[in-house]
Amino acid sequence: MSVVARSGIISALIWMLVSSTHAAFVLGSTRIVFDEDDRDVSLAVTNTSSIAYAGQVWLDPFPVGEKNDGEPPSYFAVTPPLFRLESGKEQLLRFFRTEGVLPKDKESVFWLNVQEIPPQVKGKNVVQFAQRVRIKLFYRPRSMLGTDSREAARKLGAAFSGGRLALSNNSPFSISFIQMVIKKGGKEWSLKEPAMILPKHMEMVSLPPGVTPPFKVYFRYISDYGGHHDGPILEVKG
């Protein structure tokens, strides 16, 4: 292998390592809550790198790929959708409600994507990777104003059904989990799913082999302000 080829591979590996460990953009919040009565909401984006980056912003339905008949309506607009951000500077993104009918009795969830666009680098043996930061946007109708989102965790139901764990979210709020652990007879198992349960939705979760009731479910979840909280212990009986 030539020195040039070897140098190119090393350069690519370095870019991959840098890209995988550090994002240029840092968002001012871990989630956005948009109430029906809000005229708009804002999110700060800061460029923490030593060079200027461009950025692109868009919203996806949650889960990704979920569409209505034809093209889904654009429920929100963001300004600016494209921007250039110098090193150490901040860009304020503003979100506005546009069109489309959303549920009046529960919150709706969207993915907010902020894509980094690095400057072009001259040279044959340089590989660049653009990172994307993704957080959730929660839209809450007027009927939910004044209610506490932490009630969702307190009302979470758990049952054993068909060899799996059935989790029921009967509230109008989504529940985002950090950790979920099954405990039985001095043993415990960590579950990888679910990451989130949508409002008024049931999620079926696979259990470790041989785990049957009775057992207890311990979980931690994320509040509106990004705080981590312990939910109530759920007892699952046979």
Using alpha carbons, select from 29, 24, 42, 40 the residue that is nearest to residue 89: 24
Residue 167: the pLDDT is 97
Residue 73: the pLDDT is 60
State the greatest distance between any 2 C-alpha atoms of the chain, in Å, as a whole number.
67
Residue 34: the pLDDT is 96
Distance, in Å, from the CA atom of 42 to the CA atom of 158, rounded to the nearest integer, reads 36
Residue 140: the pLDDT is 97
Residue 58: the pLDDT is 94
Between β-strands 132-140 and 31-35, what pairing exists: parallel, antiparallel or unpaired? Answer: parallel
Residue 63: the pLDDT is 75
Number of neighbours of residue 139 by Cβ within 10 angstroms: 23
Residue 127: the pLDDT is 60
Residue 2: the pLDDT is 43
Residue 177: the pLDDT is 96
H/E run at residue 13: helix 3-21
Residue 124: the pLDDT is 60
Residue 156 and residue 173 in contact, taking contact as beta carbons nearer than 8 Å: no
Residue 53: the pLDDT is 95
Distance, in Å, from the CA atom of 128 to the CA atom of 67, rounded to the nearest integer, reads 32
Residue 130: the pLDDT is 75
Mean pLDDT by groups of 10 residues along the chain of 238 residues: 40 39 87 95 96 95 58 81 97 94 95 92 65 94 92 94 95 96 96 93 94 96 89 93
Tell whether pTM > 0.85: no
